[in-house]
Structure 1
Amino acid sequence: MPTHSARMVLRWSMTMALAGVAALAMAGCDAAPGGGTDIPRQVTVVGTGEVQGVPDTLTTEAGIEFVAGDVTSAMNQTSERQQAVIDALVDAGVDRKDISTTQVSLQPQYGNPDASGSANITGYRAGNTIRVKVERDSASQVLAVIVRAGGDATRINGVSYSIEDDSALVRGARERAFNDAKDRAEQYAQLSGLRLGQVISISEIAGETPPTPVGMPMPRAMAAAPPVEPGQQTVSFTVTAVWELS
């Protein structure tokens, strides 16, 4: 039978054990679900910005085409005439680095098929195309030079305008896109009764309109410089930004 002292020790041990269990239970109630990590409050918005500029560079595809009875004649006539065009462009002030050959072609030409369905070769069509890049102000005169040097064999396969250095436009479009995103984020913060904090992340998508095409006929001859208008070109940006809310 336990003595009085033993009963006191046993009662004291049970009291301390119950207190420990209660403390653990209270600690468990204070812990947040999922490890106690708070979900950050943030807002993700998309902003867009556009700026326009006047193109300063014209690019044209100019071809020479001849049809002859044999391969050598077709190729020689085409090469000689295209070389005359290139020489005329250089004499007119076009830098050789702005002239590049983009296509050389040679195709047989067939006559009408006979009763058996076969057709004989009647000649050969040779072509040589160059790409020429010039400043906007000299575009009309350069086109006239091409046609005068190429004569009836000239083929103008269209022209397009572009902006040689669009870095200033890019900066402007990017700034507008970011400001647009920030305005949207601030509005969402006000609507939710919060304040806009620091930027968490920014990602962008650059968008630029392709060179402006200008339709051109395929002239046999052209005495005067053709009028061409550059119009405007748009540089755009789309920005996705994430702000913290506080």
Structure 2
Amino acid sequence: MDITVVGEGTVLAAPDTLRLYAGVEVRRASAAESFTAARAAAARLTEVLRQEGIAAEDVRTTELSLGPEYEAYPKVTAYRAAQGVEVVVRDLARADRIIDTVAGVGEEARLNGLAFEVSDPSGPLSEARTRAFRDAAGKAAQYAGLAGRPLGRVVSVTEEIGGGPPQPLLRAATMAAEDASSINPGRQTLTVTVRLGYDFA
């Protein structure tokens, strides 16, 4: 006879990396003009990011598109060209400045969203595993007691790792007052779910 229980361990970790999704978008009378203008704007964006200290390997192209826009098909009113990039910001203290820099590229600039992450989650996940295992072991011991049987050894272990959206980061009022940043990374929820199989002695 055996028993299988599920335990969960959750920790909150402060993100230290920002992924900024940005780009440029233009509309011109011809496809060639639109594409040329978009590439020129994208080059300006890449250059200002370089000047702000963003490494080349931290800028990745995520979109390159060109197509007509219609007033009433098949009449073309303009051609839209866009180029999108994902920018990795490894110093969150500079996040606002980087965002302002992107916006300052000109009317072609686009800000399409952002995401925070923990660059090295190994420490928080290790703690979450410990909590998950203890949670499962406690349940197994309880069930064994209810069944009136001694709990045997662990015969199987499976794991699932998940994460939730950033939660607001609670800080002292004085710290919040001193921080003029509009970007708040919050805290990332990291969860480990472990399934333990025991046999009964």
Q: TM-score w.r.t. structure 1 length?
A: 0.72
Q: Does 1:141 align with 2:97?
A: yes
Structure 1 unaligned regions, length at least 5: 1-40, 214-224
Match of 1:152 in 2: 107
The percent identity for this pair of structures is: 33
1:30 alignment partner in structure 2: none
Which residue identity lines up with residue 141 of structure 1 in the other structure? Answer: R
Distance 1:173 1:139, change over 3 A: same
Q: Hey, what does 1:108 align to over in structure 2?
A: 68
CA-to-aligned-CA distance 1:197-222 (integer Å, 9 cap, x gap)? 21111111221236x59xxxxxxxxx
Q: Structure 1: which 4+ aligned runs deviate by more than 3 Å?
A: none
Relative to its length, the structure with more strand (as a share) is 2
> Counterparts of 2:25 and 2:67 in 1: how far apart (Å)?
11
Q: In the alignment, residue 54 of structure 1 is paired with which amino acid?
A: A
SS in 2 for 1:55: coil
Within a 5 Å distance, the mapping from 1:34-183 to structure 2 comes to 41-111=1-71, 113=72, 118-135=73-90, 136-148=92-104, 150-183=105-138
Matched position secondary structure for 1:236: strand
TM-aligned CA deviation for residue 173 of structure 1: 1.0
The answer to whether the 8 A contact 1:143-1:226 is kept is no
Question: Which residue identity is paired with 1:165?
Answer: D
The correspondence of residues 203-218 of structure 1 with structure 2, limited to 5 A, is 203-209=158-164, 212=166
More helix by share: 1
Residue 176 of structure 2: aligned partner: none
Q: Please provide the CA RMSD for this pair.
A: 1.8
Counterpart pick for 2:183 among 211, 216, 228:
228
Bigger-Rg structure (1/2)? 1
Give the TM-score of the pair, scaled to structure 2: 0.87
- Letter of the 1:132 partner, please give it: V
Q: How many angstroms does 1:229 deviate by?
A: 0.7
Is the 8 Å Cα contact of residues 144 and 226 (structure 1) preserved in structure 2? no
